[in-house]
Amino acid sequence: MGTLEVDKSLKAAFKETLEPHGFKKVKGRYPHFVRMATPEIIQVINYRLEQALSPQLEEKRFEVYCAVGSIYRPEINLNRSVYASMDWIHTTMPHMYMKAKRNEITVYENEQPGVDYIIKKGDEASLREQIAFAMTGIEHYIIPAFDKVVDLKTCVDYLELYDSMCLTVWNRYQFENSEEALILPAKYPNQESYKENVLNKYEAIKERVFHDIDEGKMLRADGEIKMLRCKKRADDTIERYEKFFTDEETKKELVRLKAERAEKNINAIRAMGIEV
């Protein structure tokens, strides 16, 4: 089995599995399968076909990645490779499984998802088996999580659970670096609701730190330094978010960025054959 044969089988399986859920492969060579959950929210599932680590035993191996994003993120470029897209399309099924378990979300337990799927050398049955394994994971881990995203508020819910770093709130002069912070008001419509959320997270971190100190896993001095840093980061984040509502220049910048990004990203998505 050559690379083209394996890739062809993967594309066919992804198409068969994802099209009933409303996904469509983008134009061109790259295996990005896209669904617009709403006109403002894009969902992507793709795979990365890699060389075997043990050429004598393996034919190929592949990994599955996914992402949810809004049209207000800095860039949506689907005309590039899976590897080049990993700046935002990087969530794996094992990551989703562990995050769900940690947050007491009911998940499919019959089999845990693989990090990568290994195709044995010269074994077509292995190819079919690994593809079926991956499709089962997509159906049971990715699709249920994606289906919960029905508006910008639930988009924030998803990102807080699976990709929280992209919600970082930068100051007004660094908004160009922000990823999804512009959609936070959909869930936190005022500074008080956001402040409560940040402080709750701070208290959870503090509880874990002091637990580690009590268990002898961390020195008290190190724990106190860590908590001082966390408290400063929390206070700075709250202060920056308040400007979303109180600072006129910040509010103007938010409106400008959202309009510019929406227009640019919608055009880019349409150019790849996806209806918005």
pLDDT computed for residue 105 by the predictor: 83
- DSSP class of 91: B
The string of pLDDT tens digits covering residues 231-263 is 999 999 999 999 999 999 999 999 999 999 999
pLDDT computed for residue 1 by the predictor: 61
Average pLDDT, the chain: 91
Average confidence (pLDDT) over 208-228 = 94
Domain containing 242: what range?
A: 165-265
- Which of 126, 152, 178 represents a domain boundary (last residue)? 152
Residues 167 and 184 sit within 8 Å (Cβ to Cβ):
yes
Average confidence (pLDDT) over 75-87 = 96
Residue 261 lies in a domain: yes
The string of pLDDT tens digits covering residues 2-43 is 778 889 999 999 999 999 999 999 999 999 999 999 999 999
Residue 68 lies in a domain: yes
Residue 273 lies in a domain: no
Reported in sequence order, the residue ranges of the chain that DSSP labels E, i.e. its strands, are 24-25, 32-38, 41-51, 58-70, 117-120
Place of tokens 């089962």: 136
Average confidence (pLDDT) over 96-124 = 81
Residue 265, helix vs strand vs coil = helix
Average confidence (pLDDT) over 201-208 = 94
